[in-house]
Amino acid sequence: MSASPFLSGRPIAPDPIAGGETAAELIERTFLAYNAARLREACRLLTEKMLRPDVTVGMSLTGALTPAGLGMAALIPLVRAGFVDWVVSTGANLYHDTHFGLGLSMRRGRHDVSDVSLRDEGVVRIYDIFFSYDVLLSTDAFFREVIRQEEFQHTMSTAEFHWRLGRYVAERENALGIEGKSFLAACHRAGVPVYTSSPGDSSIGMNLAATRLEGGSCILDPSLDVNETASIVLAAKRDGGKSAVVIMGGGSPKNFILQTEPQIQEVLGIEERGHDYFLQVTDARPDTGGLSGATPGEAVSWGKVDPDRLPDAVVCYTDVTLALPLLTSYALTRHEPRPLRRLYDRREELLGRLEEEYGAAGAEGPSEGTAGEA
């Protein structure tokens, strides 16, 4: 009797861990089942397919990643290596990232302490991260001072807003001799556009609102963000390449990075099929109906992911703070740096191409009953 094709997989027979393995070697040799295996598949998908020269990689960031040091440890190395071409992040990640670029500190603490005592001592807690309330006040003062500058007094996308902010953070880093601390500054230097899907939902947005009360005229236009991000994805395809999304967490940034394809197809009426590669790390369940846990298969039904590319989709159910350092180490070990695409510098060109295709498609806006997912 011939062996079942279901038994054609490689035997599970790893060598004992010796203690001298690199992270990449440990992943390849011992991450053989369950979510460890999904993480190994994610590492290989990233390095073997997503980082090919013709693939444009977008990354979404949700959760308190930068306060935990992952901006410095993982995100900046990925940007410098050319492994991330554009970003959608919560504003909170960018706000707390800026503390480091200003030379301010966050400290390791404990989650099981009295928050009343912390409040009495002027200490702020993000689970087991502690920092002084003065860190917030100093960062707020920095943002308000910068946003008051003349160059901010007009309507802009969040990519332009963050690029301009990033220049000031980079200048502060240079003055303090601490380059490499701020993800926002690193994206500015690399020409990586950074979007925020909900700009009012963070301390950066709160300080921007304060400058409006003073008579400032800096306005963030979400419609610009929607069209600019769609233009990045469309250009990736029209230039003969592919589009990849690396989703760290879920939430609004996940939907915002994925809705680029429904914006192209459903709303603008431009022929397209969806993102080519999908990699997500999440701790959200799919059965609650929330977007954070929605599977790539569900995304196919919305036009967000190309159905023919569904085999090139991996979801790893684990904590991003565990997976992101491992993904980063694996990628930097197994793949050489890529040339920087500097998509921020091409924003007007790419948006112009989107406008031309929209005009050629003769689109008149969405028809009844085709509202997109919230």
Other CB atoms within a 10 A radius of the CB of residue 301 amount to 10
Residue with tokens 């800026």: 98
Other CB atoms within a 10 A radius of the CB of residue 43 amount to 27
Which of 181, 237, 254, 304 is catalytic? The answer is: 304
- φ, ψ of residue 125 to 5 degrees: the values are -120, 130
Which residues does residue 123 pair with via DSSP β-bridges, in sequence order? 132
Is there a catalytic annotation at residue 237? Answer: no
Tell me the torsion sign for CA atoms 125, 126, 128, 130.
Answer: negative
Helix (H, G, I), strand (E, B) or coil at 46: helix
Beta carbons of 196 and 202 less than 8 angstroms apart: yes
The length of the chain in residues reads: 374
Distance CA(6)–CA(219), nearest Å, equals 58
Beta carbons of 56 and 232 less than 8 angstroms apart: yes
- Catalytic (active-site) positions: 304
